[in-house]
Structure 1
Amino acid sequence: MTQSGVRGEPARPRVQQAQDLGRDDGPRDDAAPDGGGDNGDGGGAGGRRRGGRRRPRGKRGILRWSAITLSVLILGTAGAGYFYYWHLNNNIDKGERSSGDSKAKKAEPNAAGQTPLNILLIGSDSRNSEENVKLGGSRDQMGSKPLGDVQMLIHLSAGRKHASVVSVPRDTRVDIPECRDPETGKTYPATNDIINASLARGGAGCTLATWENLTGAYIDHWMTIDFAGVVKMADAIGGVEVCVEHNVHDRALPGTPGGSGLKLKAGKHKVKGKQALQWLRTRHAFESDLGRAKAQHMYMNSMIRTLKKQNVFTDTGRLMGLAEAATDSLKVSEEIGQVDELYGLGMQLKTVPTDRITMTTMPNDVDPQNPNHLVPKGADAEQVWSMIRDDVPFDNKGKDEKKPAKEQEQASADPAAEDGEIGIVVQNGTRSATLAPVGGRAHAVGQALVEKGFSRATADGTVTLAEDKTVVRYPSAELEGDGQRVAKSLGIPLSSVKRSTDVSGVTLVVGADWREGTAYPKQSKPEAGDVPKTADALNGSDSDKCMPVYEPYRW
């Protein structure tokens, strides 16, 4: 066996992320033109928020995520020839896939050689054109860096049989990694901030890296759209059916300015253009940002059902108009910056039946540091991300998908050194967004390793990290066997042994999933349909759902 020169060398402590409390690149409050904006400050009877929190002022353009997905569906059915594709190619704006520090790795293929596909959809609040200023608010912010107002992940299964969608509210506090702006070359240090700030710290590639670190899942592509693109796509849709339980008028109330202007009678309605935008911007009348996310999911599902029901996919003229609007509105990661790539992507998405599409919101809690913000909800959020990583369906409608595929664990080709020769540093990573760290965890687990014969194991008490799952890191291929040997001795799965340039030797980070004891607790894997209730799941075939209306906004 090749002996490494760093095998016995203690690992370098992982750099803790800086707290950028100044938030000079943080979210901004927008003034609405002509009093029509959704920028309430949460005061008064109309400002009640779920969990007692007050929301920051709303942003516009909530149709963006719908428009992006519609664009993919349209491009996946367009039967245009080479020259038309060439024309559409010129419409598409492109950017770097990832501009941030992320350790996520692409999933291994299944027995048929297929891998899941993850697409990050981002709605930016750009004001970099007159058209966007008219639609999005205050002119004094024209030219400023956009923020990621709406963000959601579409997960397409390896077998292309089901799709899962997870939204993360814009004001969720997360760790944003170090990112480099590909346009200016500026590097932004790692920080802890709300997720919509990531777009201004290195573009969509930084938002993608932030999501990879949040979920632990590799994200293949990103797509963004701005205000103007939203309206173009809304007009091109031709109308989508929505439903409210009560008469609704989302308007300014005493002590609560803003409102989308949406006014509908109870029941089902077909909305398009400006009215569709009002539906998807409505926050006060749907009680909170979480209610608004639910309304967005209803709209998305209804839109997909509408497109599948109509003859839009065989109407070449209409498809060309929709494709024009889509490609002119989108910015995509460079590896899918050609129409033929988008065409193939759209064809894959189109094969998923509506009853195998599940819309969800990441389970969340009120941020203990700021009641206006949210944080991931511990075990529930991790279960959602685990299902994404392991390609487990959010629904239970697949006859052959009741249980996740057995995890493939491959031992390293390089055998481990003797236990007493392996230098190990143990770090405490039990801190989470909602839980304080458990004191002494690094020492306790380090001592257990010493008792097992790993005499060179030491505890690093100088840092407290935040790791949702326990991980063993190693810096180079010749130490992979050592890392796996350490994991095996404690019952940690080999899938949690990761190569990382952040360490100089084998490093065990005790995560939030291991808050007590010296033997790693067995982790039960979720089965199909085990999505937590707190994710507020909505099936794509459910056409009977109606949005409840917060009482002050009924008429």
Structure 2
Amino acid sequence: MAQSEVRGEAPAVEDTMSLTPKAPDIPARSDRRGGARRAGGPKTDRRRRRRRVLRWSATVLAVVILGTAGAGYLYYRHLNGNIQKGARANGDDSKARRTAPNAAGQTPLNILLIGSDSRNSAENVKLGGNRDHAGDPPLADVQMLIHLSADRKSAAMVSIPRDTRVDIPECKDPATGKVYPPTNDIINVTLARGGAGCTLLTWENLTGVYIDHWMTIDFAGVVRMADAIGGVDVCVNQNVWDHPTPEVRGGSGLKLKAGTTKVQGEQALQWLRTRHAWGDDLMRARAQHMYLNSMIRTLKKQNVFTDTGRLMDLAEAATKSLKVSEEIGTVKKLYDLGMQMKSVPSDRITSVTMPNRRDPQNGNHVVPDEANADKMWQMLQDDVAFDKHGGASGTAKNAGKDKPTRKPSVDAAGLGVLVQNATRTATEAAVPQRASAIGRLLVQKGYARAQADTSGTLVEEKTLVRYPSADLEGDAQAVAKALDIPMSAVQKSTDVSGVTVLVGADWRTGTSYPKQSQPKAGDLPAGSDAVNGSDTSKCMDVYSVYRW
């Protein structure tokens, strides 16, 4: 059957902003007395200068709110040189789908923020506090998806704990060309298996959510950004000291008195790295959410428009601190991202952690709580707001229309369709003969060449229709329509050689695909540990061993 190359990287986006600053003044011309004067007069000059200053200021403020970079035209070349870049995805086989545009043609924006524990410099070794790991491949100890709704009126920050065991796809290191085979391991090792692009691909395969860009920051970058911002307020309910104990080695060194404290520099890094004092890695995610929410509120309050020194410090720190996926590797593109985040009100920002449960194979790890995690991923895919302050976006409203977007390449009778039994779960055996039952149903609907794969059973939480190449997308959509399977379940994949139906655990009985309920705005699943961006009342509880 037809097959084509699957491309994992997003096409480069043209940067239309000139690298050369515009001339600040209109050329001088002579007046009648023989002297030179500026065209337009002094008032016009002042207005021009004021507009340039405001453009410059707005650029920096908006971009830093997102934790990226921005600057005025004067430093454009210099700051572009600060930015490090890398491939968006380090593999081709993504299971993600793009969310359909809303009525206004807008789509959500998803950015993966990764905190690296890299000790590849003397500064990072000192801040990391463990010289034994100097030069080791970095681990992705913080992983957070920033989701901006299609209408840009709400946002979500979703964390996956670093010790979550997941399926990691094949990844390729863009620097060395080394190919890492698929494996099952905790998610923080993805950064060492080909860089941030491998982490992104793992997220896409787990969540089904298409991720537009990634950004990484290391220990030193966190310190620089915290200093440039001027500190962020954090709160603890008891005195805390995260130090080594006879039972547990290590610790961030964080030492604070009960109440609210403004942390910056190394102390901010300690807050973000603290785990033992909060009890576990899940509570560390909550502390990180509280820090980022507080940082956003701080930046919204700061009057940086008239503070040139602050503007320059923020721009330098942001561009030196971040490495980004190459399609957003200029100040102009990062500025555009910042502008989209700028207008989201704090009370429309919701921070959550992926619902999870203890890993039965290792008590120190967790695995996704499938039912609740899948509900969260569906909310992201359908662009349903995580907060209750607004209704579902236009994208979510359009999700129910669920119509094919491509025409089939051949008649149903001439299309070969393979049906596989993927009803097995971690706790239930596969349903016998499910592939045969759905294969016979397809034959009844005109797909005479449909056949069941009897070689074994697979595991899929939800029923999927996969196709290997773009020329078969319309055919896969037609098969999904014939079975009343939603278009969101149609995926491009190199795991198949033709149109393939995987009958998942959500369709264990009957010949009618079960109707799926649509999530509602603010209806987050259990185990989300949601924190609203405007909530200033939250404080971290300290595990008793680490109180002083």
After TM superposition, the score normalised by the length of structure 1 is: 0.82
SS at match of 1:535: coil
- What residue in structure 2 maps to residue 369 of structure 1? 361
- 1:400–1:105: structure 2 CA closer, same or farther, 3 Å change rule? closer
Residues 153 and 344 in structure 2, CA contact (< 8 A), matched pair in contact too = yes
SS at match of 1:154: strand
SS at match of 1:319: helix
Matched, 1:349 2:341: yes
State how far apart, in whole Å, the 2-side matches of 1:455 and 1:78 are.
Answer: 58
Q: CA deviation at 1:78?
A: 5.0
The 5-angstrom pairing of residues 135-146 of structure 1 reads 135-146=127-138
Following superposition, which runs of at least 4 residues in structure 1 exceed 6 angstroms of deviation? 74-77
Q: How many residues align?
A: 488
The 5-angstrom pairing of residues 32-47 of structure 1 reads none
SS at match of 2:378: helix
State how far apart, in whole Å, the 2-side matches of 1:488 and 1:199 are.
Answer: 38
Matched, 1:488 2:481: yes
State how far apart, in whole Å, the 2-side matches of 1:403 and 1:474 are.
Answer: 25
State how far apart, in whole Å, the 2-side matches of 1:551 and 1:86 are.
Answer: 51
- What residue in structure 2 maps to residue 528 of structure 1? 521
The 5-angstrom pairing of residues 214-253 of structure 1 reads 214-253=206-245
Q: CA deviation at 1:226?
A: 1.1
- 1:173–1:436: structure 2 CA closer, same or farther, 3 Å change rule? farther
- What residue in structure 1 maps to residue 255 of structure 2? 263
Matched, 1:280 2:272: yes
Q: 1:93 aligns with which of 76, 84, 88?
A: 84
State how far apart, in whole Å, the 1-side matches of 2:409 and 2:78 are.
Answer: 56
- What residue in structure 2 maps to residue 545 of structure 1? 538
Q: CA deviation at 1:384?
A: 0.8
Q: 2:510 aligns with which of 496, 511, 517?
A: 517
- What residue in structure 2 maps to residue 61 of structure 1? none
Residues 367 and 375 in structure 1, CA contact (< 8 A), matched pair in contact too = yes
The 5-angstrom pairing of residues 48-127 of structure 1 reads 72-73=64-65, 80-81=72-73, 83-100=74-91, 101-127=93-119
Matched, 1:213 2:170: no
What runs of 5+ residues in structure 2 fail to find an aligned partner?
4-60
Matched, 1:390 2:382: yes
- What residue in structure 2 maps to residue 471 of structure 1? 464
State how far apart, in whole Å, the 1-side matches of 2:114 and 2:459 are.
Answer: 26
The 5-angstrom pairing of residues 439-458 of structure 1 reads 439-440=431-432, 441-450=434-443, 454-458=447-451
Q: 1:311 aligns with which of 296, 303, 310?
A: 303
SS at match of 2:397: coil
- 1:403–1:223: structure 2 CA closer, same or farther, 3 Å change rule? closer
What runs of 5+ residues in structure 1 fail to find an aligned partner?
1-5, 12-68
SS at match of 2:536: coil
SS at match of 2:523: coil
Equivalent AA in structure 2 for residue 534 of structure 1 = G
SS at match of 1:349: helix
Deviations 1:287-317 (A, max 9, x none): 1110111111111111111111121354221
Residues 158 and 353 in structure 2, CA contact (< 8 A), matched pair in contact too = yes
The 5-angstrom pairing of residues 409-420 of structure 1 reads 409-411=402-404, 414-415=407-408
Equivalent AA in structure 1 for residue 363 of structure 2 = P
SS at match of 1:405: helix
Residues 133 and 142 in structure 1, CA contact (< 8 A), matched pair in contact too = yes
Equivalent AA in structure 2 for residue 519 of structure 1 = S
State how far apart, in whole Å, the 2-side matches of 1:418 and 1:400 are.
Answer: 37
Equivalent AA in structure 2 for residue 548 of structure 1 = D
- What residue in structure 2 maps to residue 31 of structure 1? none
Task: Give the % identical residues.
Answer: 66
- 1:308–1:437: structure 2 CA closer, same or farther, 3 Å change rule? farther
Residues 404 and 527 in structure 1, CA contact (< 8 A), matched pair in contact too = no
Residues 72 and 342 in structure 1, CA contact (< 8 A), matched pair in contact too = no
Larger Rg belongs to: 2
Equivalent AA in structure 2 for residue 97 of structure 1 = R
State how far apart, in whole Å, the 1-side matches of 2:380 and 2:392 are.
Answer: 17
State how far apart, in whole Å, the 1-side matches of 2:546 and 2:135 are.
Answer: 35
- 1:76–1:208: structure 2 CA closer, same or farther, 3 Å change rule? closer
- 1:485–1:332: structure 2 CA closer, same or farther, 3 Å change rule? closer
State how far apart, in whole Å, the 1-side matches of 2:259 and 2:62 are.
Answer: 25
Equivalent AA in structure 2 for residue 498 of structure 1 = Q
- 1:252–1:479: structure 2 CA closer, same or farther, 3 Å change rule? closer
Q: CA deviation at 1:84?
A: 0.2
537-546 vs 475-484, greater mean Cα deviation: 475-484
401-410 vs 386-395, greater mean Cα deviation: 401-410
Deviations 1:178-230 (A, max 9, x none): 11111001111111111111111111111111111111111111101111112
Deviations 1:243-296 (A, max 9, x none): 112222222333222222223232222222222222222212211110111111
Equivalent AA in structure 2 for residue 424 of structure 1 = V
Q: CA deviation at 1:72?
A: 3.8
- 1:491–1:416: structure 2 CA closer, same or farther, 3 Å change rule? farther
Matched, 1:330 2:313: no
Residues 68 and 319 in structure 2, CA contact (< 8 A), matched pair in contact too = no
Equivalent AA in structure 2 for residue 95 of structure 1 = G
